[in-house]
Chain A
């Protein structure tokens, strides 16, 4: 079966508990017999939260495969019972650095690198990496 996708967006204010709501939904879907994977996309430009002070960002959650990630992944693991990995957290910084590294190595030779389509393609790749 093809993987179905749920995007969770937030409105009005931050700290509404998108992570907890997503994780709780994942738990219910798992109890109904489905295998669920979870992912967080963070808009900031740090490649990961590993270099940020806990005062800025709260805890840095570490996965088995050694990714330093957003603390929402802790909710995913605890509430939904999923196991997270490097594919479970991408930041704008990570996406941009991948694209820029590819540009430097000649991956877009001859072309202008742009937000659309290059950054958005890279983001879609990250979204599909969960499948």
Chain B
């Protein structure tokens, strides 16, 4: 590796992060000159009443760092309005950082993918390389700028309902929102999120809440709260032919809903929520039964999955062997596989070694996929995940169709 970047969580002055800062201080002390630098990210707040930017909080935070023996080499100032020359001078003077190495990072307007351009505008990368005594190389951002222009000027739009149980926390489904955004970019579409708290759906008319959605996504989660709402969302997507993607618990809810509604097994459930159910279509994995510790003991990380070549998933991925990341304890109960398949639920993907069901689909539906794994973790802005790209393609098709009518 040429360059390692270590982000130290928390803010300077926190008791908890002191050992990390102390270790970083020692790390620099023990390294050759120009091998280690400190970049301090700080806030320069704009005080509306005084119409002024204030540098004092930054001065204090740097003073705290210097008190523990860390001298920042670079000061990156987050601000909503541009800094003026005086601010740079003042920050340089009081924080003991040369003015050239005091840079601003303004709030970006529309997308976090604008941030690299904002930093490039300030030549932060060049200044870092200067301090590390490394060759500048060349930077070509033309194709990135071109791509970003597409991101900022979508031609179409669609609405995706995300029916979750941690909806109020804006970062709880970060990768899912990003993956939907990436898929939208691919199709030149703005993806609007309809955030639905699963519990709210339980006592309401599904049509009223989910009616405006061009696609429905039910993400993962743990515990019984909100599961009835998630199952209701699946039912709506299945019966109204709304493009659907169920992830982890979302996939499990799809299996439960299908067993209850299509097979008529009214008490079908996951043993996570009802250990006494007569139809445990989702059950604790065998290897999980002897585990009592909660930390780091789920089925975690990358595992392979093989698709039925005839499946929608195989078509969407363009291949039949894939690897995806997992985080779960419960699984599709293979004991009910035949019954569910006979009733019309397609088993599209399984783990080649254990046979664990990874992907389920419905044939008589424009787009209905449930996956046990978490595709959202592997989506990239310029390389969206196939399952999300497929969902948005189906959503846009439905959106256009609805408009035409």
Contact = CB atoms under 8 A, between A and B. Distances in A.
Interface of A: 1-14, 16-22, 24-29, 31-44, 46-48, 50-51, 53-55, 58-68, 70-72, 74-75, 77-79, 81, 92, 95, 115-116, 119-121, 123-124, 127, 130-131
Q: How large is the interface on B (under 10, 10 to 19, 20 to 34, 35 or more residues)?
A: 35 or more
A12 to B, nearest CB: 4
Contacts of B21: 9
A44 B15 CA distance: 10
B53 to A, nearest CB: 13
Given A5-B36, A28-B125, 11 more contacts: A4-B134, A5-B35, A9-B72, A10-B12, A14-B11, A21-B76, A55-B166, A64-B301, A78-B379, A95-B19, A123-B19
Interface of B: 1-12, 14, 16-17, 19-24, 26-28, 30-32, 34-43, 45, 57-58, 60-62, 64-65, 70, 72, 76, 78, 105, 112-113, 115-116, 118-120, 124-125, 128-129, 132, 134, 136-141, 144, 166, 168-175, 178, 221, 294-296, 298, 300-302, 323, 325-327, 374, 377, 379-381
A100 to B, nearest CB: 14
B69 to A, nearest CB: 12
B78 A16 contact: yes
B299 to A, nearest CB: 9
Q: Is the interface of A mostly helix, strand, loop or mixed?
A: mixed
Nearest to B138: A32
Contact of B128 (A6, A40, A44, A63): A6
A120 B9 contact: no
Nearest to A47: B295
Contact of B2 (A11, A36, A54): A36
Contact of A12 (B9, B24, B58, B178): B58
Contacts of A37: 1, 3-5
A9 B3 CA distance: 17
Nearest to B16: A43
What 4 pairs across the A-B complex have the smallest Cβ distances? Answer: A66-B301, A11-B61, A58-B171, A43-B16
B325 A62 contact: yes
A7 B174 contact: no
A96 to B, nearest CB: 9
A39 B5 contact: yes
A28 B127 CA distance: 12
Contacts of B115: 17, 20-21, 24, 79
Given A18-B7, A92-B19, A31 B37 contact: no
A20 B294 CA distance: 30
B6 A41 contact: yes
B10 to A, nearest CB: 5
